[in-house]
Amino acid sequence: MKSESLPFLPFTRPNLDEETIAGVVDTLRSGWISSGPKVKVFEVALSEYFGGRVVRTFSNGTATLEAALRIAGVGPGDEVITTPISWVATTNVILETGATPVFADIDPVTRNLDLAKVEAAITPRTKVLLPVYLAGLPMDMDALYALVAKHKLRVVEDAAQAIGSTWKGKRIGAFGDLVSFSFQANKNLTSAEGGCLVMDTPEQALHAEKLRLQGVVRSGYDGMEVDMLGNKANLSDVHAAIGLGQLARIGEINARRHALARRYFALFKGAQGEATRTVGMELPPENFTETNWHMFQVVLPLHRLGMNRAAFMEKLHGFGVGAGVHYPPIHLFKLYRGMGFKEGMFPVSERIGAAIVSLPLFASMRDEDPERVVAAVNQICAETL
């Protein structure tokens, strides 16, 4: 069991340096803590990061994703195809627009959408494809955009977890249609809460600005007009100050995550992971070219372990190691069952969604922490043999 000398190891922890903290303090002392100059600086810096594309920030990634759907023209009568394995916000925002979520099953290796299943789900009502890059791993972007071009559809990329990920050497967000990122506390780049939408045109940027602040357009000293319904989802300067500090270090943060992921693979493939291999635990794709290693997720062989995921996580907790669940299948939540979804509709998603576990992975982990995690996982597996 866990050593009393070792602190509990959570599955994630934000990595904030003293310079970032000082930047937040300066912002608080400036007297301007809501949306102001820091937000504008953050948006410019993000635009540069994404190759000069237009960027607007929001108070969270859910608002960002909903805004993207509305900018794409999604509304009642439309269908949006997405994955069952994501945070439920991915589909809740579809409902918020009045459109209908349509699920397609996932690839068992990448755990992202299976594009063959996506194409089979396209109907005359399909308006948008909404792929999710689970754990920061992009899907085949060439195939994705070839498919939408073939069917004349829009793409809203849920890249919430994919800041710094790439496709063929180009950053996710630096190309494509509408790309949504989250800066929530567990993301590689955090602003505590927040998100951004990457777009192409000033017209889209104006639309985004209206959507994040009650539909208001200002002019001059006292001019104000409202010609559409908006929300209240603007980012504050306090959050932007955190984001600026994180953006300056995102290369360093992601490099550290890569190093930790490499260590995990070496341990699981070595003597330390013998029992995990024997029981058939599934590791993530060993991709060090395109992913940002937002999470290190394993799929438990529950039939071999003789326990459910909760029991496994409880045992792991006994070793002083935390874990997360990302994600249960969305279509099996009560809200979505009420729309006619049920077990057996998306078997790959259901199997993975019942057994996937996120192991600790964050930039401030110590070099020896992966060994501690793998030893705990291996011992739990060994007890079942």
Which positions are annotated as active-site residues? 187
Residues 104 and 86: their CA atoms lie apart, in Å, by 12
Instruction: Return the structure tokens found at 271.
Output: 């003597």
Q: Yes or no: say if 61 and 98 are a contact pair by the CB < 8 Å rule.
A: no
User: What pairs with residue 356 in β-bridges?
Assistant: 299
Instruction: Return the structure tokens found at 322.
Output: 């935390």
Residues 241 and 42: their CA atoms lie apart, in Å, by 8
Q: Yes or no: say if 159 and 184 are a contact pair by the CB < 8 Å rule.
A: no
User: What pairs with residue 179 in β-bridges?
Assistant: 157, 198
With vertex at residue 162, the alpha carbon angle to CA 160 and CA 167, rounded to the nearest 5 degrees, is: 135
- For 233-287, the DSSP string reads -PPPHHHHHHHHHHHTTHHHHHHHHHHHHHHHHHHHHSGGGHHHHHHTPBPPP--
Q: Yes or no: say if 212 and 233 are a contact pair by the CB < 8 Å rule.
A: yes
Say which residues have a Cβ less than 8 Å from residue 213's Cβ, sequence separation at least 6. 230, 231, 232, 233, 234
321 backbone dihedrals φ, ψ, rounded to 5° = -120, 125
Phi-psi region of 44 (alpha: psi -120 to 50; beta: other; left: phi over 0): alpha
What is the CA 42 to chain-centroid distance, rounded? 20
Say which residues have a Cβ less than 8 Å from residue 25's Cβ, sequence separation at least 6. none
